[in-house]
C-alpha cells in the first residue's frame, strides 16, 4: 500500500511535533521567535517521515535527530527541517530551489508550502530514490536533477527562496545571484568536523544582501564538483 499524507496525527507524529515545539522554546533567544509558522508545522505533521528513511531506521523516524539515508548522507532532525523551512518565509505562489534532495523529506515539506520546488542532488542513486517517493506520495510540483548544487539551477532562476541542506565553506555566489529581490537563502556554513552556523541571506528589493547567523548546526559537506550526467527530472 502506498503511503498517504496524514489527515490526523498519530502518536508518533504528535511526539515529533511536541519535540519541535520544545526545541523552538529552548532556542528562542537564537532564532528570535517563540513558535514557528503554523503552515510549516502543519506540513511537518502531514508528511510521513518514516517513508523517507531506510527500513532499519523506521523505528527512529519520528525521533528528533538525524538519520542515515545511505551514500554517506543523512536526513536532518525534524526541528532543523522545520526551522530552515520557517526561515524561508514561503508563500503559496513561490518557487523554491533546494540544494541536496537526499531522500526527499525536506523537498516534500517544501512542496506543501509553495507552487514549485526545484531540487538538485549530486548522487544519482539518491535522486532516483527521491523521485520514487515523490511519485508514490503524489507530490506533483517537484522537479529534480542530478548536478552540482554549488552552481544552483540557472534554467529556472530567479527563485523566491533557496535552501541548502549541506554545509558550504562559504556562501556560493551563484546561489545569491539566483535569488530574487526580497528572497531568502538558508544555508549552513562551516567545515566538516568544525563549528558550523545556520545562516540566512536576505536580499532586499534593491538587491542589497544581508547575512544573519541563526544558530550552530552540524551538516554533511556541500561538494563543489563537476557533474555531467543527463538531466534527471520528474514533473
Listing from the earlier edge strand, what are the strands of the sheet with 142-146? 142-146, 116-121, 95-99, 159-164, 179-189, 196-203, 209-217
Among candidate residues 131, 92, 125, 124, the one with its CA nearest the CA of residue 110:
92
What is the C-alpha separation between 103 and 167, in angstroms, rounded? 17
Q: How many CB atoms lie within 10 A of CB 99?
A: 27
Q: Which of 29, 76, 169, 182 is catalytic?
A: 76
Eight-state DSSP code of residue 78: H
- 76 carries an active-site annotation: yes
Cite the active site residues.
Answer: 76
Amino acid at each position: 500500500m502506498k503511503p498517504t499524507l496524514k489527515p490526523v496525527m498519530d502518536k508518533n507524529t504528535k511526539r515529533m511535533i511536541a519535540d519541535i515545539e520544545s526545541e523552538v522554546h529552548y532556542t528562542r533567544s537564537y532564532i528570535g521567535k517563540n513558535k514557528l509558522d503554523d503552515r510549516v508545522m502543519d506540513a511537518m505533521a502531514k508528511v510521513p517521515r518514516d517513508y523517507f528513511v531506510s527500513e532499519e531506521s523506521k523505528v527512529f523516524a519520528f525521533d528528533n535527530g538525524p538519520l542515515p539515508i545511505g551514500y554517506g548522507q543523512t536526513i536532518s532532525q525534524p526541528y532543523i527541517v522545520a526551522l530552515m523551512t520557517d526561515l524561508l518565509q514561503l508563500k503559496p505562489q513561490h518557487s523554491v530551489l533546494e540544494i541536496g534532495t537526499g531522500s526527499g523529506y525536506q523537498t516534500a515539506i517544501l512542496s506543501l508550502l509553495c507552487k514549485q520546488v526545484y531540487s538538485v542532488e549530486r548522487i544519482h542513486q539518491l535522486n532516483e530514490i527521491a523521485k520514487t517517493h515523490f511519485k508514490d506520495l503524489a507530490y506533483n510540483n517537484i522537479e529534480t536533477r542530478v548536478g552540482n548544487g554549488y552552481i544552483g539551477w540557472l534554467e529556472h532562476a530567479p527563485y523566491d527562496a533557496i535552501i541548502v541542506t549541506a554545509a558550504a565553506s562559504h556562501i556560493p555566489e551563484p546561489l545569491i545571484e539566483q535569488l530574487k529581490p526580497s528572497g531568502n537563502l538558508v544555508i549552513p556554513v562551516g567545515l566538516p568536523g568544525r563549528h558550523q552556523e545556520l545562516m540566512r541571506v536576505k536580499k532586499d528589493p534593491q538587491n542589497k544582501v544581508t547575512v544573519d547567523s541563526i544558530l550552530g548546526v552540524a551538516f554533511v559537506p556541500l561538494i563543489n564538483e563537476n557533474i555531467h550526467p543527463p538531466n534527471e527530472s520528474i514533473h
